Structure 1
């Protein structure tokens, strides 16, 4: 699988009863496709997978696959707290026709690097899927370190890494150490343009839910060699990106969808709604980014 362009880490729209709102979900996906997004990750961090049961996760993966079909790249989120549960998630995704999965280390258990290597190998042995490693130590407490990446550098089914550590130096190290053995995908939204300059070929992007045109325009401008144009777009978006990075990321992204005219509904607890003041502040930077 070739990872390119903006790949949206989809929110999961909920209605006021906190059931999955498939009508809004379909509208969101179609809007994304119309605006040039090249792929989707359902059940990623932005999709609140951790707050959903197995049946709900299955229904989301099935719905996204049916709506998107072959119109865009699809990568299933399969994260969980144990190898056993991750394997179950990955097998379910493969049965629905997903050819690739995005996996961070299991959370809470804090596996060592050899344990994490064994974890990913068990997943690869369980289903015929390609794997995108997901380095997000602020969320899971463990880095997908070079010991793990060395172990899979020559495995053709381990195709890339979504780098969400926030460290540009880490992205540079990955490209310097591995060259084209891993496809590098940006997962640190406020430095996305920097990642592109250092060899990222795609941007797996939560903010694209509410800023699809702007995120696509940055990548398209960069690909066309129009670096100054890409800088100008990112400059307009920077306050919104910074706001997202300060906290309540999912709530703000969902509110941004609402500002775009597509309801994404509430977040599930423990995430609480934005206050009136928080909405007002995010709307200001949203408008600056979309003017």
Structure 2
């Protein structure tokens, strides 16, 4: 399985009543496909998977697979607070027709590195028809996918890559240096994407691609063609809006960015609160500047 190009970490749009809006989801998918993205990652943190019921997760997976078909790579998030719960999520994801999964450490349990190896091994033992992309996002899980975990699975044919969302360029450098032949590196830290690609990332699992996919695809095309100056110029234009997202209320800002792009993504589910009028005005200013 190739981890390549721009893979939006999909939002989950909600209607005015708070239900999943599948038509808006389909419209957002088509908008991003038209921009030239390479695939999608539903049910990640940007998609508020933690706030969805199991039935809502199944229906989101169904909509994404139906709309996208064979037009892009699909990698589904399947996460939870313990191994039992994650196995249940993986099972329903496989039943929905997905075989590439993005799996982070269980949150709240705080497993050791040895226990984390056991967690991933249990998933791989239970399901022989899946590819796993490790997901390092310690700010949300409080557990790092450390190098001992990478070492444990470096020769496993179905552990194909890692989404690195620690924000550490040094981690990207070390992964690229140590495991260039074993793991495909995917950028999960939007504001340092240029640096990640310089150090060997082949893809970018990107929340902001929900609301300005044209610029992000343009960056990738320029970088891939060897136009590093052009790619850097695109990132320079995008940096203020990405920095705003990274400052806080990331999901709310991605959803508001979708609204500014013409889609009604709705509010994030509680406990997250909507942006204030002042926060909207400040974000709109940097968003509009990124479109010029």
Q: TM-score range by the shorter chain?
A: over 0.9
C-alpha RMSD over aligned residues: 0.6
CA distance in 2, matches of 1:122, 1:71: 31
Q: Quote how far apart the aligned CAs of 1:248 are.
A: 0.3
Aligned to 2:102: 102
Runs of 4 or more above 4 Å deviation: none
Aligned to 1:165: 166
Unaligned runs of 5+ in 1: none
Aligned to 1:20: 20
CA distance in 1, matches of 2:231, 2:52: 37
CA distance in 1, matches of 2:131, 2:149: 16
Partner-residue secondary structure (3-state), 2:185? strand
CA distance in 2, matches of 1:58, 1:26: 15
Aligned to 1:214: 215
Unaligned runs of 5+ in 2: none
Q: 8 Å contact 1:91–1:126 — kept in the other structure?
A: no
Aligned to 2:276: 275
CA distance in 2, matches of 1:6, 1:190: 15
CA distance in 1, matches of 2:250, 2:179: 31
Aligned to 1:231: 232
Aligned length: 291
Aligned to 1:79: 79
Aligned to 1:285: 286
CA distance in 1, matches of 2:16, 2:172: 40
Q: Quote how far apart the aligned CAs of 1:66 are.
A: 1.1
Q: Quote how far apart the aligned CAs of 1:239 are.
A: 0.4
Once the two structures are superposed, the pairs formed by residues 105-144 of structure 1 within 5 Å of their partners are 105-127=105-127, 128-144=129-145
CA distance in 2, matches of 1:191, 1:211: 17
Aligned to 1:52: 52
Q: 8 Å contact 1:13–1:22 — kept in the other structure?
A: yes
Partner-residue secondary structure (3-state), 1:142? coil
Partner-residue secondary structure (3-state), 2:219? helix
CA distance in 1, matches of 2:55, 2:126: 20
Aligned to 2:93: 93
Partner-residue secondary structure (3-state), 1:19? coil
CA distance in 2, matches of 1:271, 1:180: 40
Aligned to 2:260: 259
Aligned to 1:68: 68
TM-score in terms of structure 1 length: 0.99
TM-score in terms of structure 2 length: 0.99
Q: Quote how far apart the aligned CAs of 1:179 are.
A: 1.5
Aligned to 1:39: 39
